[in-house]
Amino acid sequence: MDLDAFDHESHMREALDCAREAAARGDEPFGSVLVKDDEVVLTAGNRINSENDLRAHPELTLAKRAAAERDDADELVMYTSTEPCPMCAGGIDIAGLRAVVYSVSGERAAELHGTDPLLSSTAVFEAGRSDVRVIPDVLKAEGEKLHDAHR
């Protein structure tokens, strides 16, 4: 199915919901979903605090699950509330996902939090082995509110 025909805003709303659920349980406000053929198949929220695990970013959780539980990683599109960090982008590249759609860029998130930006996911994918397409800034204003509420 053509990625441009996917309902980007609907899937991003679900990722933003996962981020709000994470914040409600005391984790950082990040959430992601995996979509195949325009249907959500897996969801995850940040669990760094609740699992005391620095790897518990939703993007890495979903990349791991895609690789471990499924044989169609190259058909899966990740929708995520903020651009994946370099750790997660590396996992996404290794898992071989088809594309990443994000709301808030890493650069914008760093600006909102007054921190230095990390290496962009695009740079990681360009250096990696998979051809992961990136679609930025879907529901950006709504995504930015998550960061505004957690500064």
Enzyme catalytic residues:
59
Nearer residue to Zn ion within complex by CB, 12 or 81: 81
- Cβ-count burial of 53 within 10 angstroms (0-12 exposed, 13-18 middle, 19+ buried)? exposed
Are 132 and 97 in contact by the 8 Å Cβ rule? The answer is yes
Q: In the window 48-67, what residues touch Zn ion (CB under 5 A)?
A: 57
Interacting span for Zn ion (CB under 5 A) from 40-48, 85-93, 98-106, 135-143: 85-93
Minimum CB distance to Zn ion, residue 6 (Å) = 22
Minimum CB distance to Zn ion, residue 1 (Å) = 27
Nearest C-alpha neighbor of 104 from the set 146, 71, 61, 54: 146
SS3 37: coil
Q: 76 phi and psi, to 5 degrees?
A: -95, 135
Which position among 34, 63, 85, 95 is part of the footprint of Zn ion (CB under 5 A)?
85
Nearer residue to Zn ion within complex by CB, 77 or 88: 88
Q: Using CB under 5 A, list all residues that contact Zn ion.
A: 57, 85, 87-88
